[in-house]
């Protein structure tokens, strides 16, 4: 179902489009496509004076700030990250963007994202990023729980696994908000700001 409404104060929230993540093989879309579509959305939001939030994930080199807890896969040993691993893709950045650093899958827990959005009167977010089933879905769930209207730009996100991407887009996202394409969102943004 296409996007029906964008609130007067809607923010674009971009998840983990950074060096180490966009270098990974992704499906069903190449990371470069996601970055390009996100850049289009970011330019459209900025041109209408709406907030753009760039979320990046990082961890200390020794892994001491990584999420704990037992998982079936066993503990993940700290691994060295290459230089620039957590640097945001330059194609999506703007001088007045809000940058949020997270250490979890989702962008709300342990960050000031909610505070940054509420201070600006934001009532709706549009989400893009990598990975669909991890950072994007976790953030969408938390945004829904924080009572934001959620829109998901499904052609501006991709995953490491096609089945988990499809599950998020087809089964989870319709329960959390509205889904649409980059073009649909940009067109609606222009109509509502005319």
Residue 157 and residue 155: Cα distance in Å, rounded? 6
Domain presence at residue 66: no
Segment among 1-10, 80-89, 138-147, 165-174 with least mean pLDDT: 80-89
Residue 151 and residue 164: Cα distance in Å, rounded? 19
| Whether pTM exceeds 0.85 | yes
Give the pLDDT confidence of 35-84 residue by residue, as tens digits: 999 999 999 999 999 999 999 999 766 666 667 777 787 766 666 777 88
Determine the average pLDDT of the residues in 101-130: 97
Determine the average pLDDT of the residues in 138-165: 98
Share of the chain above pLDDT 90, in %: 83
Based on its alpha-carbon atoms, the radius of gyration of the chain, rounded to whole angstroms, reads 16
Asked if residue 189 has pLDDT above 80, the reply is yes
Domain presence at residue 185: yes
Cβ–Cβ < 8 Å for 178, 150: yes
Residue 177, domain extent: 10-59+83-193
Residue 62's pLDDT is 61
Residue 64's pLDDT is 63
Residue 85 and residue 58: Cα distance in Å, rounded? 8
Domain presence at residue 5: no
Residue 190's pLDDT is 95
Domain presence at residue 126: yes
H or E element, residue 22: helix 19-22
Query: How would residue 2 be classed by pLDDT, with cut points 50, 70 and 90?
Result: confident
Residue 145's pLDDT is 98
Give the pLDDT confidence of 85-115 residue by residue, as tens digits: 899 999 999 999 999 999 999 999 999 999 9
Count up the domains in the chain and report the number.
1
Question: Can you list the positions of beta strands (E) in the chain?
Answer: 10-15, 52-57, 98-102, 124-130, 149-158, 178-180
Determine the average pLDDT of the residues in 122-149: 98
Residue 52 and residue 163: Cα distance in Å, rounded? 29
Domain presence at residue 142: yes
- Domain of 15, CATH number, reads 3.40.50.850
């Amino acid at each position: 179902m296409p996007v029906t409404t964008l609130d007067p104060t809607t923010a674009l929230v971009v998840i983990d489009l950074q060096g180490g993540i966009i270098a990974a093989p992704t499906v069903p879309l190449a990371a470069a496509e996601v970055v390009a579509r996100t850049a289009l959305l970011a330019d459209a939001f900025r041109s209408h004076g709406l907030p753009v939030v760039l979320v990046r994930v990082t961890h200390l080199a020794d892994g001491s700030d990584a999420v704990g807890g037992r998982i079936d896969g066993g503990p993940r040993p700290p691994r060295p990250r290459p230089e620039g691993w957590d640097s945001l893709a330059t194609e999506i950045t703007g001088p007045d963007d809000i940058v949020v650093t997270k250490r979890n899958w989702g962008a709300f827990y342990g960050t000031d994202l909610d505070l940054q959005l509420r201070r600006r009167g934001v009532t709706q977010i549009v989400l893009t990023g990598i990975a669909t089933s991890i950072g994007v879905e976790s953030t969408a769930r938390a945004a829904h729980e924080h009572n934001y209207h959620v829109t998901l730009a499904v052609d501006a996100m991709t995953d490491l696994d096609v089945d988990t991407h499809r599950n998020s887009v087809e089964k989870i996202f319709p329960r959390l908000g509205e889904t649409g394409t980059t073009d649909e969102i940009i067109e609606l943004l222009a109509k509502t700001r005319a």
